[in-house]
Structure 1
Amino acid sequence: MAFSLKRKYLKMPLSRIVSFAFGGFVAISISLILFLSVKANVQNTFSLLNDKAILLSTSMEQRVRDHFYSVEQAVTDLKPFFDRGEISFSDQDTGLDMMKVAVATSSRITVLVATDLNGENFGVYQAPSGRLWPFKRQLPPGSDKTYVLPKLNVYSGPTWGPILNNDVGQFANVSVPLVIKGKLIGTLTAASSLDSLAKAIRSLDEGDESTTFVMVNGDEILVHSDKDEFQVGGKALQPLPAPREAFGDPVLANMDTADKLDGFAKAARLGINVSRIEVGKREFIVMKADIPGYSTEPWVIGQYFRGASITREVERLTGSALVGIGAMIIAVLVALWMGRVMARPLKKLAEQSRAVATLSLDNVEPLPRSRVAELDQVAQAFNSMVVGLRAMNTYVPRSLFNKLMRLGGSQAAEAREARLTILFTDIVGFTAMSETMSAGETARYLNAHFAVLVSGVEEEGGTVDKFVGDGMLAFWGAPDARADHAMAAVRAARRISRDLEDFNSEAAERGDPTVRIRIGIHTGPAVVGNVGALDRWNYTVVGDTVNVTERLQTLGRELGAEDKVVILVSSDTIAELYGEQAAERAGDFSLRGRSEPMEVFKLDPYASPNEDQIAAAPAFSTTAAE
């Protein structure tokens, strides 16, 4: 005797699972964190300093790159205009107009100048007040020595020159070659004052116990956040920019004697150097990194702070251990409460999911909103999914969707060849009829007509493929295989005929036009399944059998011109109609696209199957069509 054993699973309420799991996890996690914190608080402090070094260096580097991005972009954007000849040294007025626009849109550009191979130039200078000064051949007073022309060739990219100093301030400059037909004709240069950059970098200073600095041209200090009074006391001996040795800051002056600190491997991988410097009896931690690309030599950005701050960090971590123990107790209690709160909406979700699994979408109730963000997102996503499924059923026949889900989803929808019966309908003279209707009236009339057709097809287990103008294509035998597909198609055609009588009666009472239809039915092999590309798939039927069906329907123009409903079927379909007595042989006809004549039969549209025909019908199957 064959039998099977079902594995029994231990089931627990969700609230208990969440409470104990979350509470236990929190208790173990906090205990482990507290243990590691007390045991390795110094190591943790250095880890925080490691992250601080990365964050600070990244922030400073980003300030620099943000400052110079628009400067470099200005010359790279204007270069194509010179290269195409739209701006030329012979027509400087046009060039000045475009340069003024470029400078006006970027407050970081001080000078934008084009220089030819003879040294002649023209450009725009932006004064500290924001006023724009166009110039030709000579820079305005006070703006000289803001840039230097590098040696470029036709293939050079944006090239940054050395940092320059004059009576106004410090300037960075970038140049690009101007090329016409492969020949260098000059240079386009943009210079930017570093005053605003210095202010932005000084704003990263964290207070009295830290100092932010930037060095350029090797060891020249460009920015120093504590130039008025150093951490070790005293003031700057020279105004900025100044050489590191001559500036007067003993910490930066002793950078050559710094000892590299271990434990900062993560920062080191990003090019950040962390070291220790002793000045007298005081210890300082220095973090610095190089930024290449904005001068002939890399910039050095960094910050230093007192080493005593590490001791305070250790004391804070030790004190946090006691706070952590209390937090662990509170967290476990909160976890027990949260488990019960979270279980309620999840239980509701499980109940509604069972209805979705059976595609009983009309019975699905919307999930309520939740104050818990994740649960609220789940509820909204579930509700949106249900709305989407309901909307999908508007365009995908529910009967087809249910069949595909029952038979295995994507596998049942794979394209294959099967023996099917195809039904094709068309309204007689609908084009002329629609000329008297508005677009809205035509759509409403067709929708009501198609409702009759779809009802007849689905009542007999068929699949509506598509609507073609005022016609409809349906088939039997897929996705579920059935031996009586020909008989089901004929029954559907006759059901449609009878329902059409009621449709026309109601239309006549409303004063709407009545319709006559032609129906073609043919049985044969066809390819059925998903056909399409990318995300535009359609479960459909294609092949010669479909074409023959459509031409049988068209033949109804000759064989049933005055009939309210004319049903023409092929001899292949007749061969599968067990006990059919209401079929009249119409003759052999040469259908377009076929080399041999086809024997065609005309069915009585209102006949009902007799008892012998019902008894001879083969059994219906719900397996997928092969």
Structure 2
Amino acid sequence: MAKMRSKNRRFQVSLSTLVGAGSGGFVALAIALVLGMSVTANFQNTFSLLNDKTILSTQGLEQQLRTHFASVENAVVGLQPSFENGLETGKSPDRILEDLTLALKSNQDITTLAITWMDGRRLGIYRALNGKLWRIKEAVPPPGFEGQDLPELAPDSPPTWGEVVIHDVGTFSNVSVPLVSGGSLTAVLTAATSMEDLAEIVSARDEGPDNTVFILDGQDRVILHSDSDWLQTGGQITEKFPMPRQTISDPVLKNLAEQERLEEFGKAADLGIYVSFVPADEDEFIVMTAELSGFSSVPLTIGQYYRGATVSREVHRLSGSMIVGLGMLAVSVVIAFWLGRRVSRPLRNLARQSERVGALNLNEVEKLPRSRVAEMDQVAIAFNSMVEGLKAMNTYVPRSLFIKLMRLGGSKAAEAREADLTILFSDIVGFTALSEHMSAEETADILNTHFAILVEAVETEGGTVDKFMGDGMLAFWGAPDARPDHAEAAVRAARRIAAALHTANAKAAAQGRPPIRMRVGIHSGPAVVGNVGAHDRWNYTVVGDTVNAAERLQHLGREVAGEPEMTILASADTVARLPVQTGLTAVGEHYLRGRSERMDVFWLDPHPPKAAEQDSLQERPVSAAE
């Protein structure tokens, strides 16, 4: 008998142990998830910010340099017709020199401006560093020119940049255009700009003692350097610019060949900005480089470098936070297990509310009451904060879409694919003019009320709101969950919007506010739907010709005669999917912008009568969108 009782006896665990282990595991899981997400997000955000800083800094320098060189190029292109006319009319050398002087004075980015005839004669003007202008009346190359050679130009050649020129008075870059007389190449107009003019730009981009900006020419020579007086590694550059990178006193630039590319800066690399670690004097530096093409026969290299500690400080800080978080996790689990028997009573309520959170019934979640037990009180506060955070997130991520994706399999359901969809585009007629006389608060209030009407109609008919664009909306049916009646649902949603808009306008009229008129375009067909984006910037959206066609139909609504409260235009592809074609009027074939073929378009009655299907379709005047 004793043996039978022993055999039938089940293994049991005390409630305190079960609650302690359960609560400890719950806290461990929750904190581990939050910690993991936090650390991951922090790492991603840190490198995303560093990527953005790299891109902004390098592109800012590149833009300033391009602006300077473009000023020189635009100037010489603008002077080309004038000097060609002077050659045709036989202007005297003195008159040509006067014209060159006037042109040089009008553009401070140009250092030398000269005309070289094909027989070797040359006239030009050179501006010295002290601002004095020197006239050039001989074939000897002036500052900014390379020997006697000119670029090989044809009568129809575009502006052509030459190599970087080293002269006794400085370093120059030059651009030439052909001067044509009588249909043949007669002379060449050349403008040279001194690299000294760029020194101010380079120095201004230097952000302090931990930053150095530099420019290399196509022959791997350093032509500009923002820290020539005192380097981050100590000492100074005693050589005269330009000089070969391998012989410069800057050990960072000297060791560029030993650079190690940083894969974390892929976003910058996609834009042609390369970030690397370079060792120098028992230290490491982060070097960012990019090519500047179009203003020299060989592209220039622009770059800057920082001490490696700029990134390592952030990485160490994040690592420290992770260690602290893991320590807190361990302490929390121990405390939760120790206090298990004291917190067993509130666990049922916690489980019930957690179940509602898991089902995303956030409006039904009740706040957990405060507890005299410190740990339980912290759990209650954290849980309530989490619910508030999820509610806030639900403001930006449609709950209906989130539930559909979870039901259909999460990330796999969100993968981009082609599907048969119906697209709806909406827009408020004349909203820009309407909002000119409103305050920001009034404008936001009208839009929020309007969008609430649209969202309710779309979600009632099982659709998905993709995005709001100004005062317009893009919605679609048929994804992520497929449905054969997506065209019917879109049409019903449009008419729901029309009914709600009519009610809202009646209320607005009673309050003395102007009514809102709308245009809606509906089109059905294949489109790409799913996650579109890159890295951590994903968006569940629809793209393709079907989307564009719906937007064009909405624009076509401008051609409807009169000022209707609601204009709904649908394509024949949508109408063909409707089982009962009631409240439809054919408006003929129309060209839509961006499409080569005509499209049959129908006008949908926003408030159709509850009658049988119309026997025939009548013509409604709409101008063809040629």
Q: TM-score, normalised by structure 2?
A: 0.45
Q: TM-score, normalised by structure 1?
A: 0.45
Greater C-alpha radius of gyration: 1
